[in-house]
Amino acid sequence: MSEKTEQPTEKKLRDGRKEGQVVKSIEITSLFQLIALYLYFHFFY
């Protein structure tokens, strides 16, 4: 796959969102997992 040199246009972004291709942040998911793990050990151990 080639490296993209231009930013996607608004139409491309809108079409991608309509098709379900949404950017998902791995960091936010990891943060919630760490918080849940901390709370679990804090209250149950």
What pLDDT was estimated at residue 23? 65
Q: Where are the domains of the chain?
A: 15-44
What pLDDT was estimated at residue 38? 97
What pLDDT was estimated at residue 41? 95
Vertex 25, ends 39 and 31: CA angle to 5°? 15
Residue 31's alpha-carbon distances to 7, 12, 25, in angstroms, are 28, 30, 10
Q: Has this prediction a pTM greater than 0.75?
A: no
What pLDDT was estimated at residue 39? 96
What pLDDT was estimated at residue 1? 60
Per-residue pLDDT of the chain (45 residues; tens, 9 = 90+): 678 888 888 998 888 888 877 767 788 888 999 999 999 999 988
Q: Determine the straight-line distance between the first and last CA of the chain, rounded to whole angstroms.
A: 49
Rounded to whole angstroms, the Cα distance separating 42 from 38 reads: 6
